[in-house]
Structure 1
Amino acid sequence: MTHDHALDATDLCTQEFWDARYDSTAAVWSGNPNPHLVEQVTDVAPGNALDVGCGEGADAIWLASRGWDVTGLDVSPVALARAAARALEAGSEIADRTSWKQADLRTWEPPANRFDLVSAHFIHVPASDRRVLHRRMAAAVRPGGRLLIVGHHPSDLQTSVGRFDFPDLLFTADQVAAELDPDDWEIVMCAEPAREALNPEGKPATIRDTVVHAIRRR
């Protein structure tokens, strides 16, 4: 496993950390939309969406290509500039359907009852901040809208895949679902599917994702 004792868990949430990571390479991520987003949203009628922790913009651009109007939110201006450039490369219609906003997700306050979809993939902050973030994300969904939260499962720390050794940053599907009032939310999916990945040595490892998809009742 990979451990970096020079870092604190809160360092992984900062603009400085992510600006440095994005500045270190031409592309941090694959450029493809997250598979769980595609699986859960392909058949959903488009509306307006908030992509929390949008990074280089692949999810937002995919949503825009399917008719969604998307706000991409990220702590890193470097990532957002890259996302905006890639949206423009995808065409003027995609660029017109996407907008980009810089914010610290630990303190950001979204507009209430605003979005048909609020989506966050692999956003990991300390547990106390995570509960606040998830509550704010849920409040930003309008009645009839959807909340999609995907993360790395705590069991990944028992694999060779190389997660930072900060258990407080990881969470289960049941933990996320428990944050949603059943009177207000219908849980569409609460699961921890396995998938194959490569560890830092290029060897296969089985990891799990945390996936919660819910529809707001009221």
Structure 2
Amino acid sequence: MGEDLADAARHWDARYAERDRVWSGDPNVMLVREMAGLPAGRALDLGCGEGADAVWLAGRGWRVTAVDVSEVALERAAARAVEAGVGGLVEWQRRDLGVSFPPGVFDLVSAHFLHSYAELPRERILRWGAAAVAPGGVLLVVGHAGPPPWEAEARPGVSLPTPGEVLAGLDLSPGGWEVEVCEEYERVQLGPDGRPGTRVDNVLRVRRLPG
């Protein structure tokens, strides 16, 4: 295991080992909103965590490649896929996305909340994600637009760009893409004390034009 992978894996394995389940277990709301009407194809889930998005997609007929650096998270995700009856539709890959990227092309490349307190070249990873989108396919990027209300400011080293900044960072070829959604939205998230707070996130959906 390379040093970068080892460091990132230790960070995220420790995070997931803190409790039996870190995330809600539900698919991300923007994935459901943006992809519900899209015909099934091949999907790439970047930073899949405990697998809720990948399982949701597979349940709708997608063949999914789901990638995360944490072995703990991937083991939970694979078990959940089997329980949901879609284990054969998801390939789980352990990778440090800043070092290596899955080969192939995909009808959907999805990156939800691809942020990390460990070092993460997020912009470069998203560019690689765009390059992996098949003609006619979609890149869907969802992220935090700012820190949660219970933190005064973003933590050092964590990139929280606006949707416009995400789009600019992709450096997409002129005339090769259509921007379908580029916006901020609000959602309610529970804070460390269990009380709800309003958080601003963003969503970017771009489609690679055929031809």
Same fold flag (TM > 0.5):
yes
What residue ranges of structure 1 are gaps of 5+ in the alignment?
1-9
What residue ranges of structure 2 are gaps of 5+ in the alignment?
none
Partner of 1:147: 139
SS class of match (2:25) = coil
The structure carrying a bigger helix percent of its residues is 1
Question: What is the 5 A alignment of 1:16-95?
Answer: 16-91=10-85, 94-95=86-87
TM-score, normalised by the number of residues in structure 1: 0.86
Alpha-carbon distance between aligned partners in 2 of 1:163 and 1:46, rounded to the nearest angstrom: 39
1:204 aligns with 2:196: yes
Question: What is the 5 A alignment of 1:93-108?
Answer: 94-108=86-100
Alpha-carbon distance between aligned partners in 2 of 1:22 and 1:53, rounded to the nearest angstrom: 13
Using CA pairs under 8 Å that are at least 6 residues apart, name the structure with larger relative contact order, 1 or 2.
1
Partner of 2:173: 181
Aligned length: 203
Question: What is the 5 A alignment of 1:164-179?
Answer: 165-166=155-156, 168-178=158-168, 179=170
Shift of 1:45: 0.3
SS class of match (2:54) = helix
SS class of match (1:183) = coil
Q: Is the 8 A contact 1:161 1:205 kept in 2?
A: no
Alpha-carbon distance between aligned partners in 1 of 2:160 and 2:135, rounded to the nearest angstrom: 28
Runs of 4+ in structure 1 deviating by more than 6 angstroms, as ranges, are none
Q: Is the 8 A contact 2:101 2:128 kept in 1?
A: yes
Alpha-carbon distance between aligned partners in 2 of 1:82 and 1:128, rounded to the nearest angstrom: 23
Q: Percent identity?
A: 47
SS class of match (2:121) = helix
State the superposition RMSD in angstroms. Answer: 2.2
Alpha-carbon distance between aligned partners in 1 of 2:11 and 2:153, rounded to the nearest angstrom: 16
Alpha-carbon distance between aligned partners in 1 of 2:136 and 2:107, rounded to the nearest angstrom: 7
Shift of 1:201: 2.0
Alpha-carbon distance between aligned partners in 1 of 2:110 and 2:43, rounded to the nearest angstrom: 8
Which residue type is aligned with residue 81 of structure 2? A
